C-alpha cells in the first residue's frame, strides 16, 4: 500500500483535516501547500509567528507546520505561546527547519513540538509525518471525549442513586408504615381516621410520583434520549392544561390562580418540555404558598422572545440561596408550607430544558414576599 492511499483513507469519511502552514518564505509556503493540497488537506497560511497564533486561536487547525527561523517572532516563541493557551495547547506542532543540530531539535521539543521536518522537503516524509500526528491527535481527542462522556454518565448515575436512596426512601417508608397500620388495625379505625390516613397515603404517593417523573425526565435529558420536537404552540392553552392537572394540589390549600396571557401569544417550543417546565414551576409555587394564597402566571413580549412569569405570595427565598437555585450538584431540597416533599431536581430540570429550547431562566425573590420564576422562549 503506498503512502498516498494510506493518507487518503485516513480521513475519507471525515472532514479533511486543516493544516496551518507558517513560513516567512513564499516559495516554502507554495511547495508545502501544493503537496498537502494534492492530498486533500484544507490549508491555512501564515507568514509570521504572530499571525500564526491569531489564526490558530480562531480556526483551531488539526496540525501546525511551523518554521523555526522567522523575523519578529521565531517559531520557538510562537510554539511556546500556543502551548500555553487553552484553546491551542492540544494542536500538534511540527517544526520546519534547515538546521538539524541536536540542541536546536531539543529546544523545539522542550517548547512542545511533536516532531520536525528538515528542509528541503521530501513529499513522502512530509505526508507520512503529517498523517501520523493528525491521527494521533484524533485518537487523543476521542479518548478525551469518551472520558468526559464517561465522567458525565458516572455523575448522572451517582446523582440518581443519591436521589433514589435519600429522597425516595423516606416517603416510601412512610407509605409502607401507614399501609401496614391500616391493614393491621383496620377494624379499630374510625371512618374519619381511615379517611385521614387514606388522604395521607394519596398525597405521599402523588409527591413520590412527581419526583419519579422528574427523575426519569432528567436522566433521559442527560443521555440525550429525551425527544425534542419544537413547534408553534399557544402558550395560554399550555398553562391552562397544567393548571387543570394541578387543580387538586392547589385546592388542598385553597389557592387562587390567575392567568394573564393573551390568546394570540405563540411560542416555538417542544410541547412535552414546556409542560414539564410549567408543571414544575407552578407546582413549586403551590408547594411554597400559604393556604389561601394566590399564584399568577403572565407573559410579556420582548424582541424575538416571550417572557413567562410564575409568581406566588409564599415564603420566598433567602438572598444567600438565590445563586444556588439552578446550580448543579447543590442540594436545594426544602419542605413546602404543608411539609410537601421534593428533591430539588425540578428546577435544575427546568433550566436544562429551557436552555435546550434556546431560552434562559431566572428568579427574583425575598423572604416573606414570595417568588417570581421567569423563563424565556423563542416567539413562534
pLDDT at position 256 over 80? yes
Q: What are 33-52's pLDDT values in tens digits?
A: 999 999 999 999 999 999 99
Q: Is residue 255 part of a domain?
A: yes
With 50 as the cut, is the pLDDT of residue 4 above it? no
Q: Find where cell 390567575 sits.
A: 258
pLDDT at 344: 59
Is 194 inside a domain boundary? no
Dist CA 279 CA 256 (whole Å): 16
Mean pLDDT, residues 260-280? 90
Q: pLDDT tens, 189-205? A: 888 888 888 877 877 77
**One-letter-per-residue 3-state SS of 136-152:** HHHHHHHHHHHHHHHHH
CATH of the domain at 92: 3.40.50.2300
Alpha-carbon distance of 214 to 236, in angstroms, equals 23
Asked if the model's pLDDT at residue 184 lies above 50, the reply is yes
Quick one: pLDDT band at residue 53, thresholds 50, 70, 90?
Answer: very high
Helix/strand/coil (H, E, C) string of 72-100? CCCHHHHHHHHHCCCCCCCCCEEEEECCC
**pLDDT attached to residue 232:** 94
Is 184 within a domain?
no
| pLDDT value for 8 | 45
Give how far Cα 315 sits from Cα of 182, 218, 361, 368, Å. Answer: 34, 27, 20, 5
CA nearest neighbour of 92 among 43, 133, 44, 54 = 133
Residue 24 lies in a domain: yes
- Give 186's pLDDT tier (boundaries 50, 70, 90): confident
Residue 89 confidence (pLDDT): 94
Percentage of the chain with pLDDT > 70? Answer: 86
Residue 119, classified by CB atoms within 10 Å of its CB into exposed (0-12), middle (13-18) or buried (19+), is middle
- How many whole angstroms separate alpha carbon 109 and alpha carbon 113? 5
The CA-atom distances, in angstroms, between 255 and each of 67, 238, 251, 370 are 73, 20, 6, 14
Domain boundary among 94, 121, 148: 121
211 neighbors 167 (Cβ within 8 angstroms): yes
Q: Using an 8 Å Cβ cutoff, are 67 and 96 in contact? A: yes
Any idea which residue has 383496620 for its cell? 186
Which of 7-21, 136-150, 289-303 is the least confident region?
7-21
Q: Name the grid cell of 362.
A: 431566572
How distant is the alpha carbon of residue 1 from its chain centre?
44
More confident residue, 151 or 305: 305
Q: Is residue 293 part of a domain?
A: yes
**pLDDT of 208 higher than 80:** no
User: Does 380 or 225 have the greater pLDDT score?
Assistant: 380
Report yes or no on 36 lying in a domain: yes
Instruction: Tell me the pLDDT of the chain averaged across its residues.
Output: 84
User: How far from each other are the two terminal CA atoms of the chain, in whole angstroms?
Assistant: 56
- Residue 146 inside a domain? The answer is no
Q: Does 373 lie in the same domain as 237?
A: yes
Cell 381511615, located at residue: 194
The pLDDT, as a whole number, for residue 214 is 67
Gyration radius of the chain over CA positions = 31
Mean pLDDT of the 366-376 span: 93
| pLDDT at res. 71 | 86
pLDDT of residue 99: 73
Structural domains in the chain (count): 2
pLDDT band at 241 (very low <50, low <70, confident <90, very high): confident
Higher local confidence (pLDDT), 2 or 13: 13
Domain boundary at 121, 151, 185, which? 121
Q: Tell me, what's the pLDDT at 273? A: 86
CA 170, chain centre distance (Å): 30
Task: Give the residue numbers spanning the domain of 67.
Answer: 3-121
Of 121, 146, 167, the residue at which a domain comes to its end is 121
Categorise residue 292: left if φ over 0, alpha if ψ from -120 to 50, beta otherwise: left
| CB-based contacts of 328, cutoff 8 Å, min separation 6 | 348
Is 176 within the bounds of a domain? no
pLDDT on residue 339: 66
Residues 94-107 pLDDT 10s: 999 887 777 878 88
User: Looking at the predicted structure, is the pLDDT value of residue 331 above 60?
Assistant: no
CATH code assigned at 307: 3.30.565.10
Amino acid at each position: 500500500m503506498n503512502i498516498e492511499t494510506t493518507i487518503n483513507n485516513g480521513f475519507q469519511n471525515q472532514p479533511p483535516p486543516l493544516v496551518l502552514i507558517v513560513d516567512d518564505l513564499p516559495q516554502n509556503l507554495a511547495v508545502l501547500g501544493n503537496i498537502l493540497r494534492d492530498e486533500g488537506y484544507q490549508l491555512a497560511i501564515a507568514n509570521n509567528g504572530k499571525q500564526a497564533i491569531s489564526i490558530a486561536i480562531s480556526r483551531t487547525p488539526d496540525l501546525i507546520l511551523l518554521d523555526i527561523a522567522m523575523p519578529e517572532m521565531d517559531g520557538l516563541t510562537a510554539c511556546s505561546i500556543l502551548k500555553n493557551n487553552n484553546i491551542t495547547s492540544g494542536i500538534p506542532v511540527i517544526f520546519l527547519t534547515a538546521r538539524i543540530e541536536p540542541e536546536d531539535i531539543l529546544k523545539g521539543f522542550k517548547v512542545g513540538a511533536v516532531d520536525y521536518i528538515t528542509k528541503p522537503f521530501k513529499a513522502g516524509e512530509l505526508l507520512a509525518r503529517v498523517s501520523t500526528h493528525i491521527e494521533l491527535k484524533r485518537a487523543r481527542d476521542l479518548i478525551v471525549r469518551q472520558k468526559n462522556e464517561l465522567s458525565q454518565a458516572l455523575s448522572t448515575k451517582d446523582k440518581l442513586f443519591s436521589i433514589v436512596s435519600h429522597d425516595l426512601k423516606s416517603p416510601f417508608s412512610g407509605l409502607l408504615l401507614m399501609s401496614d397500620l391500616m391493614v393491621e388495625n383496620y377494624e379499630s379505625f374510625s371512618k374519619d381516621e381511615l379517611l385521614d390516613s387514606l388522604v395521607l397515603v394519596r398525597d405521599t404517593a402523588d409527591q413520590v410520583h412527581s419526583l419519579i417523573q422528574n427523575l426519569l425526565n432528567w436522566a433521559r435529558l442527560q443521555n440525550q434520549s429525551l425527544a425534542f420536537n419544537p413547534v408553534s404552540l399557544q402558550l395560554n392553552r399550555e398553562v391552562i392544561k397544567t393548571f387543570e392537572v394541578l387543580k387538586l394540589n392547589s385546592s388542598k390549600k385553597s389557592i387562587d390562580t390567575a392567568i394573564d396571557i393573551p390568546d394570540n401569544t405563540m411560542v416555538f417550543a417542544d410541547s412535552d418540555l414546556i409542560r414539564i417546565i410549567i408543571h414544575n414551576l407552578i407546582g413549586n409555587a403551590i408547594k411554597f404558598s400559604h393556604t389561601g394564597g394566590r399564584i399568577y402566571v403572565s407573559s410579556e413580549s420582548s424582541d424575538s422572545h416571550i417572557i413567562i412569569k410564575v409568581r406566588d405570595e409564599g415564603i420566598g427565598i433567602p438572598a444567600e440561596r438565590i445563586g444556588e437555585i439552578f446550580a448543579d450538584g447543590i442540594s436545594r431540597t426544602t419542605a413546602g408550607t404543608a411539609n410537601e416533599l421534593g428533591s430539588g431536581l425540578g428546577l435544575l430540570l427546568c433550566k436544562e430544558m429551557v436552555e435546550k429550547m434556546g431560552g434562559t431562566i431566572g428568579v427574583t425573590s425575598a423572604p416573606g414576599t414570595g417568588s417570581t420564576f421567569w423563563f424565556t422562549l423563542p416567539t413562534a
